[in-house]
Amino acid sequence: MSTSLISTPFSLPTKTHLQSQQSQAISTLKPAISLSNFTPKPLSLSSRKLPPLSAMAIEKETPENEAPPTFLKDPSTSSDSVRGRFEKMIRDAQDKVCEAIEAADGGGKFKEDVWSRPGGGGGISRVLQDGVVWEKAGVNVSVVYGVMPPDAYRAAKADGGSHKPGPIPFFAAGISSVMHPKNPFAPTVHFNYRYFETDAPKDVPGAPRQWWFGGGTDLTPAYIFEEDVKHFHQVQKDACDKFDPSFYPRFKKWCDDYFYIKHRGERRGLGGIFFDDLNDYDQEMLLSFATECANSVIPAYLPIIEKRKDTPFTDKNKEWQQLRRGRYVEFNLVYDRGTTFGLKTGGRIESILVSLPLTARWEYDHVSHFIAPCDPYYEALSQKKAVKSGNCWMLASIQKSGYDREFVTIPL
């Protein structure tokens, strides 16, 4: 038995079906008391204590006709500030990535939505859907500020944060993207780079402002090609090594640990790099590092797409891709902190869920085996032997069944 997810994960019962159920229930149930003597009491909403709106959600967005030169409205925030330069970086990256994806797709075009928030800031959402190469590709930027509820602050911090209850003044800017190709042999890629600032609540005088960077780039193929994994990880390592040789092994492990589907006991994909709450280095250095990582996305990903986008595939290959996408959906809806943050702050739902594919698949008690493009490669992995390519040790993985993945992880 299988289930396909196409746009919506469930269907609602029809009005006729509900009326039928209600009539059956009324005809078979007998009241324990006489309804003629029953006087309902009106529900008093005033007796219920509801939290203020500011404690539950950040303000809803307002559609705009075009993107402003900057979403920063505070006169004290200049274009030379970290906030200003980070906004410029993510908007430049969005333009470059979208231009490259449209060129590689050869037919699809990004739809753009611009929105603003009454409390401050806004964003630009761009989505290419049903293209020639990509089933769905989203590249979003947002620059928002104001106050956030405590639940959102805890979602934004990897350690959950510790602070007195109450709304938290904040600034958050980031670029986030997920691209799902049509061809099962072409991998999905995700990247996200962000910058946060928070002030202490107003009832905590004198507390220092906090800031941190976060982000990463990771690859999720349905079928594994050694040369693709090697290329992708080498680009990540090259970007990291320009700043600190400890970054790649540290952030690669962080990526493996973060993108872990606990209820399945497996990782979402083949990793890459991931970091969060990063503020133990010079702020200027981390801004340059985030910029380098964002600029490395296209060189890491597009060469793989060019090699795999026209590979012939069967219905079985497509079914396997859909099953792996089911895992992608599970992680994003259950564990992903970006999704959690967006939902807890009442953010723009279309932007929050743009990471989900158009289609995915779940089967009951599914057991499958790879159609391996290189059998000796998969045999080596299944026996937990390291895979060596030239002078470079690499990350690799093997999917032994529909829900059991073993990983061989040896740093580059």
Could you confirm whether 190 is annotated as catalytic? yes
Least confident of 44-48, 70-74, 370-374, 378-382: 378-382
Confidence band of 6 (pLDDT split at 50, 70, 90):
very low
pLDDT beyond 60 at 24: no
Decide if 326 contacts 333 (C-beta within 8 A). no
Residues in contact with 136: Cβ distance below 8 Å, sequence separation at least 6, in sequence order? 127, 128, 129, 130, 178, 179, 180, 354, 357, 358
**Which pLDDT score is estimated for 340?**
80
Highest mean pLDDT among 39-48, 205-214, 242-251, 371-380: 242-251
CA geometry: angle at 231 spanning 333 and 107, to 5°?
A: 65
Cα separation values, 222 from 232, 327, 331, 350, 354, Å: 15, 11, 15, 26, 20
Identify the DSSP state of 8: B
User: What are the phi and psi torsion angles at 156 (to 5°)?
Assistant: -75, -25
Digit-coded pLDDT (tens) for 337-393: 888 877 876 778 888 898 999 999 999 987 654 433 333 333 333 333 333 333 222
Sign of the four-CA dihedral 259, 317, 189, 272? positive
Question: Which range, of 108-117, 147-156, 242-251, 287-296, averages the lowest pLDDT?
Answer: 147-156
Catalytic hit among 190, 231, 263, 366: 190
What is each CA distance from 137 to 54, 241, 353, 359, in whole angstroms?
A: 33, 29, 12, 13
Q: CA 350, CA 398: separation in Å to the nearest integer? A: 34
Domains of the chain by range and CATH? 53-367 (3.40.1500.10)
What would the mean pLDDT of 203-215 be, rounded to a whole number?
74
Task: Quick: pLDDT tens for 77-92.
Answer: 677 899 999 999 999 9
Burial of 204 (0-12, 13-18, 19+ CB in 10 A): exposed
- With a pLDDT cut of 70, the percent of the chain lying above it is 66
42, exposed or middle or buried, with CB in 10 Å at 0-12, 13-18, 19+?
exposed
Asked if pLDDT for residue 251 goes beyond 50, the answer is: yes
Helices (H), 262-336: 283-295, 297-308, 315-334
- 17 three-class SS: helix
